[in-house]
Amino acid sequence: LVVRVSATDLDAGMNGKVAYSLFQGGEVSQPFVIDKTTGEIRLSKELDFEVTSFYNIEIAATDGGGFSGKCSVLVKVVDVNDNAPALMVRKLTVPIPENSPETLVAVFSVSDPDSGDNGRMVCSIPNELPFLLRPTFEDYYTVVTEGALDRESRAEYNITISVSDMGSPRLTTQHTITVQVSDVNDNAPAFTQSSYALSVRENNSPALLIGTIRATDSDSGPNAHITYSLLPPNDQQLALTSLISINADNGQLFALRALDYEALKTFEFRVAATDQGSPALSSQVLVRVLVLDDNDNAPFVLYPLQNASAPCTELLPRAAEPGYLVTKVVAVDRDSGQNAWLSFQLLK
């Protein structure tokens, strides 16, 4: 029931009996009906403030004799908070590169067809994320990065934008945008050890695997794709490339030929690990190879001489006592350690 109208007629009988009717103009039919005897105006369907906020109802009261009077009822529709805010993303720039200063991520607009506080909106994004929400003009907002992002610590963010109106009850709309952070080649390969010490027994078989050098790169894609290479040794005398080779893909080191402890006891060189970023980054590590001795040299008698044409002759005095020093055998062994300890005995 919107309102009850009433009219009077001074005549008697049929001439004084009033019937009420709505006077529908040219405009689309109004959502009202009138009881022709009581004059009660009731709603015939729900009203929608967002479609029509104001009606002018024209009413006619007609008596049995054909006379009629008119009046108007003005109806104002009161807004109810029946529309949640709407959010529209206008522009989304993803992925965004890491290490960039403040970068525009998204532009969006908000709207709410309700009126007054029911249509007044506040917007927010979570505080803990490194993004800022900036109002631009009217109902437009931008989301920008707070500063440089680091893909290696976090490569993806879900930012939930909340828009609430101030109506009662408050209606809230949420929209989540996913922001990927793209990689920049900002990490050089890192070796798993600060230096490598490898050992190989001499007289090894050629192409023997003597160890593996490993490096990792926390970037992604080509920026993390590592190739290994030998660097020219500081020692110009060392023919490194004829001694050692490295597998560029996996860092495996091979001794190319049999090593000889007696000729080369130890040597060192540097390995570079280079990623495929642009520009590429690279790191170096020192590798020291220790050749282990094998007992591959027989003792060599220096004295008495082995190649003398005549057998060695020692002269003894006739009166030599027991214990007299006859001669001293001198021998050497080119091996090292226990492999070079000598013991002497007379053969039977």
Ligand X SMILES: *[C@@H]1O[C@H](CO)[C@@H](O)[C@H](O)[C@H]1NC(C)=O
Binding positions for ligand X, rule: CB under 6 A: 156, 158, 178, 305, 307
Q: Between residues 178 and 327, which has the closer beta carbon with respect to ligand X? A: 178
Contact present, 104 and 188 (Cβ < 8 Å): no
Measured from the CB of residue 281, what is the shortest distance to ligand X in angstroms?
27
Q: Between residues 7 and 159, which has the closer beta carbon with respect to ligand X? A: 159
Q: Between residues 150 and 249, which has the closer beta carbon with respect to ligand X? A: 150
Structure tokens at 204: 């090894």
Measured from the CB of residue 178, what is the shortest distance to ligand X in angstroms?
5
Measured from the CB of residue 91, what is the shortest distance to ligand X in angstroms?
20
Measured from the CB of residue 283, what is the shortest distance to ligand X in angstroms?
30
Torsion of CA 230, 234, 238, 243, to 10 degrees: -20
Q: Between residues 134 and 154, which has the closer beta carbon with respect to ligand X? A: 154
Q: How far apart are the first and last CA of the chain?
A: 140
Q: Between residues 73 and 94, which has the closer beta carbon with respect to ligand X? A: 94
Structure tokens at 33: 């009906």
Q: Between residues 68 and 297, which has the closer beta carbon with respect to ligand X? A: 297
Measured from the CB of residue 308, what is the shortest distance to ligand X in angstroms?
7
Torsion of CA 213, 216, 220, 221, to 10 degrees: 0
Contact present, 141 and 133 (Cβ < 8 Å): yes
Sequential DSSP letters for 153-211: T-SEEEEEEEEEESSSS--EEEEEEEEEEE-------EESSSEEEEEEESSPPTTEEEE
CA distance 162 to 108: 12
